[in-house]
Structure 1
């Protein structure tokens, strides 16, 4: 039975591919006959680390604790500590072996007084925080470089639903654990998890402690940073989310250059293009971002953008929602030039504007 099962599944897969008209090449079933994952993981796993933190948490001091009678009545020691030590566990990914840069989630190291990195070979190294961005939940820490393994970066913009992926991290503090699955969806947003959301959704098992770990493709390239799960019990139910590496790269590059994120502003208020709005504008376009307002004196006003313009692309990338445009602008630096393709009165225009420093405005907040 053990010998015939793999061939049985190979036959089923072959029939399904032929039925779908999928062209087959020599060695198409190599992953089943000679699993390539172990060799790939030997190269990748050493680049994923365990992160533990210690944080001093001060108790909220009640005024009664300063009352000598109250303390004496309840037998409260005079030297009772007013703070406790908190601990957390997570994962991280080495992205620069020479400089010792490790990318992780902001919530893994947030407010930590001490960050310890444990490598696959058992070394424990103290890390320093280079910078973090709560809005995207990305943080960059650093350990002494040398004798480290870094993960090559892939292109998360090239992902497709159905691509096979592998998640690597340290769930529940168990140590490095590998799970596999597929890309279940792309561009997940409006989940209320982070301020800037464009998640890769995967059914690869992700659990507490996986945060900050690697999501890689079958070539061993880093394509996402695992960050969150959806589950009624706090455990994995097959719905996990990862920050696309292209998005994380933009954040990391700014942290390395400036030590923080320098978000700029275009000066527009936007909403999703709906079928009703598309009908009202008399356009066939069904996806995009509608400019609902312009901030006076902003780059948007100076560039000639108007209310009712429909943004369909930004810097050559298609815009299918207001969230997509919001995230793209938010990750640009002050002084960067942005190119927008817009629809106005039935025609398509190209507008260029330079991102400027944010200006205080009334809600809703512009992007």
Structure 2
């Protein structure tokens, strides 16, 4: 059985490794549009952008590992079309047949429209190695950076820029930062952290367009103000890369739609990672995280080989900003109560999400113990009394 994996990121690397570990002796081909082997994305906006980590440390597997495993890695090759009926992939370099196909195409950074100046030189996004290689030389001390978007990528970019001694203004159109992904209490902690490090945060502030002729030189706001800038980072989220699947007629719903096993609407085609959406509590869920990319890819690999085991996501995330680490377990969507606990340091603490008495998620800033205990409770399906969380002298008693 020949298995072809399209997309060469974390999910692809995890799936290929799992297939071999589970005894698949047939052919495995991994096709990736980027001209490099699969690498870690999280350090791009942090250690790699700071110059603290080189490409050799970003790579998920050495070139020797792919060769030793008998996996054909084809970087720098773009899949252009998929024919499910004839079971082949067309690429810019030829035609590849398959018995089983796995789509791990990931996601692409959202960009501002060209009409708003989103394509001007000096406007950057952070998603790929090439994106960061283009941005890094521009991050020089004393320059003025405007970050558009108050999600994790924008906040991480702002933190790196301040560490490199740039002047930083972050603009968020929504009423507050982290509006889609975290409670106001978590946003309050992160906002205080950034302001303590000199980031100017403008919330509830829309942009009209990026200014400049030939090159970006600032941002015009909806209220008429214009802010000068030497460079701009746009961090307004990502879009699942579904173009190949959609053109081939596969079901797409907030990502490539799969069943609980990871199979798409075509029984010979599977999907995993940022590009895939799966059934979840009566709707569909798409997770953008390293943890899900690894876990779902491994579950799909097992199911390709006949395990027939539904994938049960266990969401966890993290974000490094300045000297602080935000760790998140679970999904707080639909919560009706928030409990907070102070941390030991100046910038730290934990936020606990509940719905009808059930613990849904925990955000922990510089509080590894709260994160680990919250994660264990959520994965065990246990929900301590919210008041007990506040009153506990030692959170470990919640596990008793």
Fold match by TM threshold 0.5? no
TM-score, normalised with respect to structure 2: 0.24
TM-score, normalised with respect to structure 1: 0.25
Structure with higher RCO (Cα < 8 A, 6+ apart): 2
More helix by percentage: 2
More strand by percentage: 1
